[in-house]
Structures are given as structure tokens and as C-alpha cells.
Structure 1
């Protein structure tokens, strides 16, 4: 069983009503258990870093209003699995990307750790990271926006 099949299995169990799933093969055994967690207070998502020259930490960046920007939702890259979000390959190392980074198709954007597996999330096309929407080390849910991007 390869990593993509395991990720699909995790996704299916997460989206189902199952609380436990076990798969035994000749050379491995996979057990998935899902606990019902109590909802935790989470403030509205705010960009951690924004791509605005001169924007200081703690200061809100002001962006010019465009009529079309009110109707269009920003493009995002969302978490493909539930897990822990990491911006760097290991603690103390340089992050894969920052707000404003331009990346090429196939470049690693972050890691989402699930069940002790480090899943590298790669860019599916050339793009620019506008903002990072979650903190390093934060738990993320399936489908949760991780990055706001521009593909133009």
C-alpha cells in the first residue's frame, strides 16, 4: 500500500461515520481510530504573514479595493489530510516558503504530519504565496485553507 492509498483511506474514514478501522495484510497492519473531539474556540482565520511591503508585525495591511475583489474568493491551497502543519523540514530550519515566495510546480510548500508520516505538500502549478493562513505546528483539518495564493 503506497502513501496516496493510505491518505485516501484516512480521508474516507474521516468523512465516514466510522470511529475505528483496521486493515491487516501479510506484511503490515493499519489501525485508524477517530475520537470525537470537543469543539475548541478558534478565532477567524487571519493571515499570519501578508505580502504587503512595509507591513509590520501586528499592523493590519491596507489593500486597495477593487470592485471584482468583493465577489471573488481568494485562491487557496487546502489541507489534503488532517494533521500537524509544519513550514520547515525540521525545527530551526529555513521555511519552505514565506509570504511573497514565488514557487514552481512540484516545489514543497509545507509538511502535514499524520500518523507519524511526514506528507510533503507540493505546488501543483507555478504560483505565488500571498499569505500563510495557519501557524507552524498547528493542527489542521481536511480542507482547511493553508495558503492564499496567486496563480497569475
Structure 2
């Protein structure tokens, strides 16, 4: 991983509401965290980005984001497998991949999550009916964050 790519990751983390970002690529691993620091003048908390060293440093695995509320037990929660930006369609002019009450087959695209300028198509792991879309287009998502509520068909 090049220094410019790492700088871009730090900038992405600084500009987002994310508190950490972890990436493993070609055997190298990088973990970026925002930590809070107290200032002497008004004792306000100020976020500070702390880049971690790549592969040589083994960092403690952060817990995936836990949903704030427990969803209905009869529904399947489709969660984000990566950190990135959620897109509901392939392009701004295109129709969304799914809408509420859409039925999809295993392997059909549900959304795209952009991470480091790579578009990652998230596919249905089984036949589903989308009950609720929990994320808006263009929103940042964290690893493990719920994206859809669905019913198995």
C-alpha cells in the first residue's frame, strides 16, 4: 500500500462519522482509529486520527457495529460486509437494485458499497423479499451495520 493511499484513508476517516477503519490487502493490514483527546483549555473532546502500522502490528479486533434496536425475529438482517459508502443503484441515473417489497433471487445485486474507489456489489445470499431498506443512498456504512430487513422466500 502506497503512502498516498494511506493518506487518503486517513482523510476519509477524518471526514466521516466512522470511529475506525480496518483494511487487509495483499497480506498487509492497516487499522485506523479515531481517538478522543482532552484539551487543556475547555476540556472539550477533540477527535484525533491515529494511523496504525501495517501488517507487522497485530491490533485488537474491534467489535462490529451492533444494531441499536432488536429487529423482528421473523426477518433476516442483511448487514454490510465492509466499511464504505452505500449506493442503491449502479449509477445516479439508474433504477435502484431493490425497493421495499422487491423479490430477489440468490446472487441478485442488492446494493453497491464503495470502498477505496472500488465498487463492491453486495449480492443476495438466498431468495429474499425486501421488507425494509435501512440506509439511504450515499450514506457511509460500517462493517456489520444492518442494510436491509428481508424475508426468506
Range of TM-score over shorter length = 0.5 to 0.7
| TM-score between both structures, scaled by the size of structure 1 | 0.57
SS in 2 for 1:34: strand
| TM-score between both structures, scaled by the size of structure 2 | 0.57
Aligned residue in 1 for 2:34: 36
Deviation at 1:31, TM superposition (A): 7.5
In 2, distance between residues paired with 1:113 and 1:45? 24
Aligned residue in 1 for 2:99: 98
Aligned residue in 2 for 1:3: none
Deviation at 1:97, TM superposition (A): 0.5
Higher relative contact order (CA 8 A, sep 6+): 1
* Larger proportion of strand: 2
SS in 1 for 2:34: coil
In 1, distance between residues paired with 2:88 and 2:135? 10
Deviation at 1:134, TM superposition (A): 0.5
In 1, distance between residues paired with 2:30 and 2:86? 20
Aligned residue in 2 for 1:123: 124
> For residues 111-136 of structure 1, what are the alpha-carbon distances to aligned partners after superposition, in whole Å with 9 as ceiling and x for unaligned?
00011110000001111000100010
In 1, distance between residues paired with 2:137 and 2:112? 10
Q: How does 1:58-77 map to 2 (within 5 A)?
A: 72=73, 74-77=75-78
CA RMSD, aligned part only?
3.3
- Shift in alpha-carbon separation, 1:85–1:45, aligned structure 2, 3 A: farther
The runs of 5 or more residues in structure 1 that have no matched partner are 1-17, 39-43, 47-69
- Shift in alpha-carbon separation, 1:83–1:71, aligned structure 2, 3 A: closer
